[in-house]
Amino acid sequence: MEDDGALPESVHAAEERARSAEERARWLEVRLEVERCARQMGIVDEDAAFRLLDRDRIECDETGRPANVERLLAELAEQRPWLVRSDSAPSVTNPPRDGFRTLSLSAIRRMTPDEINDNWEAIQAALRAR
């Protein structure tokens, strides 16, 4: 038979595809675990956390599942605190009262001289915007 030489090559190719699929599945499992832990820890950008995580330090348990992702993410959050949601973050729909606000002409007219002096920059900005 002429195909005897091709058999080992096709078996080798199949084994290589299987190894490649196992490797992709393992990294997918790691990514899912990172995303799950990141959500639980309040990390705002799960993708950034996955990309910034030192994946060479990930340890797996006896079943091959990632075992130390939470600890690694906690270390990452200490190094990069901007990754973690802040409880005191301002609401986008409800701006803070001490922040900049646009003053109306009628509000400016009702101000006392002291209020005008205290809010002079905001008044100038409101008048320039008109």
The pLDDT tens digits of the residues spanning 86-120 come to 765 455 555 545 444 567 777 888 888 888 888 88
The range of the structural domain enclosing residue 103 comes to 96-130
Residue 35 located in a structural domain? yes
- For the whole prediction, is pTM greater than 0.95? no
**Do 30 and 53 sit in the same domain of this protein?**
yes
Residue 112 located in a structural domain? yes
Of 60, 52, 51, the C-alpha closest to 25 is 60
- How many Å apart are CA 117 and CA 108, to the nearest integer? 11
Residue 16 located in a structural domain? yes
**Do 75 and 104 sit in the same domain of this protein?**
no
**Do 77 and 14 sit in the same domain of this protein?**
yes
Residue 77 located in a structural domain? yes
- How many Å apart are CA 120 and CA 114, to the nearest integer? 10
